[in-house]
Structure 1
Amino acid sequence: MAVTSRDVARLAGVSQPTVSRALRDDPRVSDETKRRVREAAALLGYVPSEAGRALSSGRTRRIGLLVTDLGNQFYSHIIAPLHRELEARGYQLVLHTETTDESVAERLIANGLDGVILATTTVDSVVPVRLRDRGLPFVYFNRTAAYVDADATVVAPAAGFQAAVDRAMELGHERIGAVFGPENTSTGQSRELALRAALTARGVGLDPSRVRRGPFDTRTGDDATASLLGLAEPPTLIFCGNDVVAYGALNASGRAGIGVPEDVSIIGFDDLPPASWPIIQLSTIAYDYAHMAREAGRLMVERIEDAPNEYAHVEFGTTFVERRTLAAPRSH
């Protein structure tokens, strides 16, 4: 007769669920209990079966990550920490890159997932509604939708923008430009509101002629910056919706022979690894996106296994990181 987890539980003196948690290295199980369970499993020759786990628990232990904007470099940097967090809790990460709201919810459900982390949700997306109606748990990462509440890990941009604006004012910048993200994303909205609030607090307006919007990609930054630099009175400082947009802004400036920061300063958002490269040295607004990804994984597992009554909304604060691309305007 095959050895079962019940046999291991009896020998280790623990419950069967504890055996499962211990063997997948669940952080809620003490090191001593994990040791006893592993020794009992080794003594009995027990090998846990993923298929058996799914049948006994009704779970596949697979969690989807929905990214509809895979070209955005930001998301490549959060996959690894999210994968490690879920793996430590006994779950597998499955990447989904569907691009249409009409079919994505049905495909996620058809893939037999225990839950989904939504990473590129728009405020008007129907996906959260359909997942809720079908009973598939989900967590918002970075972006949220307007119609359905759920667990979420998001960025609180106010402090970072306030520090960046304060520093810009110290350096003498008055003509401020901005390349915001899409208006149908919570990140685009919150970052615009935070920048405008920080500028207003310093008595500085944001001239509509120096505002551009677009997707969070390098082309947006490139095209928008070329347009801004062509103005009769171009901005001396451009705030960008994220670092990827800022890379495009740097490209446009270089192509036009405009020095950064001699002629125009540029500030990004996210502090992705390339931002600190010597060749870029981008001033940017930073936060711990790796921790935010891990927290999304924790919330997802907690939602699946414990189904808390209240939704958790975890905010991550921001700081300003000053590098080479910010300096006093030439006229100052």
Structure 2
Amino acid sequence: MSGPTLADVARAAEVSTATVSHALNGTGRLADSTRRRVREVAIALGYGAQRAPRAGKTLGVAVTTYAGSAWNFLDVPYFAQLLTVATATAHAHGYALTILPATCGAETPWHTLTVDGMLLLDSPAEDPVLRALRARGIPLVFDGRPVDPRPGDIWVDNDHIATTREVLGHLTASGARRIALHAGYGDEHYTRTVTRSYQQWCHEHARTPLVLTFDPYDTSGHGFDAVFAARACDAVYTVYDPGGRQVLAAAARHGLRIPDDLLLVCASEDHAYAESDPPVSTVTLRPATIAETAVTALVSRLSSTGPPPPVGALTVPAVLHPRRSSRRRARSGCTRPGG
């Protein structure tokens, strides 16, 4: 069956075919709202899915956690390592790899994107990129569990529940009684799962949860000022790479010694944490292994020979590297109420 035509999109969007052509090709003088609406209608109708040419042995990668905003995900060690290995793995299988900018979103002309398959990283709820790719029927593999997985979906992820509980158990064994979680910035599966796991652990151990919202621009860690001034926590698990440096800066400002007064674990791939004073305990999510696993699964999905890849979750265990920042002998004595 033939797909929707330019005229079909025009009727649905209540504009002329010329306006549709300009909107989809980035030409003409159109209001941004009109151009965006036409493209969204085209995506919803699946326009171009049947006629867009497939690329010759090309894969695409998109980091859609904050799709539409101009942020350089290559500055984040996790993404930098993952994309380096993803590129090498794609090349090893004979595929080129196209890395799409963070500004991609609903306004991107996805009907003209020529890739054989896509790897989506940290796809959030209501992801316009995912919606467009599904409409075109482009094979997908996810880094991180999709919000609403469909039968046949494949995703590669860590066991964030087990990792969170391991970190909290490690901090408790080191004497922590009031552990704060530094998270809550994104809406991807990673952040939501870690936060829920932390809250469940606090409930099981009769601890009062304290979730602090990460701010990527708070380089001095002022988001910790009120908590540190009140000595409201004696340990922090921060789940984003810059969070460890923010904790170190805030602790120094408030005269808190690490690890004597405050324990710290940071989820990060930044090797500089091992050289800091004190060396900071880190959790590695093993992005290199995730990349190799995800790209290999995507290539297998595209292959007409050999067994299909397993569907559902492909789990890569995270690894906790305890260092001086979270090693302290358990101290006896009274704790504050709720601790």
Whether TM exceeds 0.5 here: the answer is yes
Match of 1:171 among 165, 174, 177: 174
Matched, 1:62 2:68: no
**Which letter maps to 1:79?**
L
Q: Secondary structure at the match of 1:317?
A: coil
Per the TM alignment, residue 220 of structure 1 is displaced from its structure 2 partner at its CA by: 7.6
Q: Secondary structure at the match of 2:258?
A: coil
Match of 1:113 among 115, 125, 128: 115
Q: Match for residue 193 of structure 1?
A: 196
Distance in 2, matches of 1:148 and 1:270, equals 30
Distance in 1, matches of 2:128 and 2:150, equals 9
Q: Secondary structure at the match of 1:102?
A: coil
**Which letter maps to 1:297?**
V
Q: Secondary structure at the match of 2:81?
A: helix
Contact 1:152 1:313 in 2 (8 A): yes
Distance in 1, matches of 2:249 and 2:168, equals 23
Gaps of 5+ in 2: 1-52, 333-339
**Which letter maps to 1:193?**
R
Contact 1:213 1:220 in 2 (8 A): no
**Which letter maps to 1:95?**
I
Q: Match for residue 32 of structure 1?
A: none
Q: Secondary structure at the match of 1:97?
A: coil
Q: Match for residue 19 of structure 2?
A: none
Distance in 2, matches of 1:75 and 1:223, equals 26
Q: Percent identity over the alignment?
A: 16
Q: Deviations over 1:244-264 (max 9, x none)?
A: 322222222233332222221
**Which letter maps to 2:139?**
P
Per the TM alignment, residue 186 of structure 1 is displaced from its structure 2 partner at its CA by: 0.5
Q: Match for residue 90 of structure 1?
A: 94
Tell me the number of residue pairs that the alignment of Structure 1 and Structure 2 aligns: 269
Distance in 1, matches of 2:90 and 2:265, equals 33
Gaps of 5+ in 1: 1-56
Match of 1:268 among 266, 269, 277: 266
Deviates more, 1:113-122 or 1:320-329: 320-329
Per the TM alignment, residue 297 of structure 1 is displaced from its structure 2 partner at its CA by: 0.7
Q: Match for residue 301 of structure 2?
A: 303
TM-score (normalised: structure 2): 0.70
Q: Match for residue 314 of structure 1?
A: 314
Q: 1:309 to 1:86 in 2, by over 3 A?
A: closer
Q: Deviations over 1:89-146 (max 9, x none)?
A: 0011111113253224x34x42311121111321331321221111122211135333
Q: Match for residue 122 of structure 1?
A: 124
Deviates more, 1:145-154 or 1:240-249: 145-154
Q: 1:139 to 1:146 in 2, by over 3 A?
A: same
Alignment of 1:1-332 (within 5 A): 59-67=55-63, 68=67, 69=71, 70=73, 71-104=75-108, 106-107=109-110, 109-142=111-144, 144-146=146-148, 148=150, 150-182=153-185, 184-201=187-204, 203-207=205-209, 210-214=210-214, 217=216, 219=218, 222-230=221-229, 232-279=230-277, 281-306=279-304, 308=308, 311-328=311-328, 332=332
Contact 2:171 2:263 in 1 (8 A): no
**Which letter maps to 1:213?**
T
Contact 2:181 2:236 in 1 (8 A): yes
Q: Which has the higher helix share?
A: 1
Distance in 2, matches of 1:233 and 1:222, equals 15
